[in-house]
Structure 1
């Protein structure tokens, strides 16, 4: 879906006049945002397009992370499953292993009945890695590329050396 279509879809739930009033812009500008932009189109670059532009120059998708936080969510980049080394059984075992590592981290952090900022950060990092890895696996399943998955080399398991594994997955 294009950004102008997203803006226009907002009109299904609320009147353009009310939306314009709520966000402090004119109705005509709101309508311009809901139209395609181009030489032969009369639309105007909308805030969604600007957010994408700003994110392209921000380090580490900070704009997207912030936007997701404002919507009570988190941003996780979709992995390119074909480029990942997934094999069905080892990947499912790795997901279980990573989940166990997450639960272990949570258990260790909660032993004193409080969780420090550093412990919360470590838990968040493990959770985000688990979600990203699992999303890649689920995407590979949805694409049905099991033949391709079986033909790819399996990533090295994580080490306990403190260094992330070559696959980027750290199960400490």
Structure 2
């Protein structure tokens, strides 16, 4: 989905007048954000979403995405780049279990003295982010069907005479 398409959908639920007033911008600019850019034969304007995308591309710093996600009550997880071979289901599953165990280990050490310092909280957060990333990669691979062929391979009858 293009940014202007998303903003067009947002404006169906949120008042463009209210956005313009709250941001101190013209109503026409808000509506232009929901149109394709002029170089795409539209009359739109470079909108805030486009600018965030440019900033991410220029800086290559995912903390910007993390900041935006945190402001909306969420978190950022980078999508995995490598696609596992279907026979990597067990190792992929084991990775999630290991990441979870590592996170629990950090929590146990931090909580051993009945308090958690800011530095310990940062370590817990890092382990949690690692666990979420590994798990997201696994879920995406499952959704994309990369583990689907295992059933067919495991359930194949042996060839006669083999």
Q: TM-score range, shorter-chain basis?
A: 0.7 to 0.9
Bigger CA drift: 139-148 or 99-108? 139-148
Distance 1:127 1:3 in 2: 30
Runs of 5+ consecutive residues of structure 1 not aligned to the other structure: 150-172
Distance 1:24 1:86 in 2: 56
The higher radius of gyration belongs to 2
When the two chains are superposed, the root-mean-square deviation of aligned CA atoms in Å is: 2.1
Distance 1:33 1:112 in 2: 53
Alignment correspondent of 2:12: 12
Runs of 5+ consecutive residues of structure 2 not aligned to the other structure: 151-162
Instruction: Name the structure where helix makes up a greater proportion of residues.
Output: 2
Q: Given the alignment of the two structures, is residue 117 of structure 1 paired with residue 114 of structure 2, yes or no?
A: no
TM-score (normalised: structure 2): 0.82
Distance 1:13 1:61 in 2: 29
TM alignment of 1:38-117, pairs within 5 A: 38-39=38-39, 40-82=41-83, 87-117=88-118
Distance 1:61 1:93 in 2: 27
* Shift in CA distance, 31/65, structure 1 to aligned 2, threshold 3 Å: same
Distance 1:148 1:47 in 2: 42
The structural deviation recorded for 1:133 is 1.1
Contact 1:7 1:33 in 2 (8 A): yes
* Shift in CA distance, 86/127, structure 1 to aligned 2, threshold 3 Å: farther
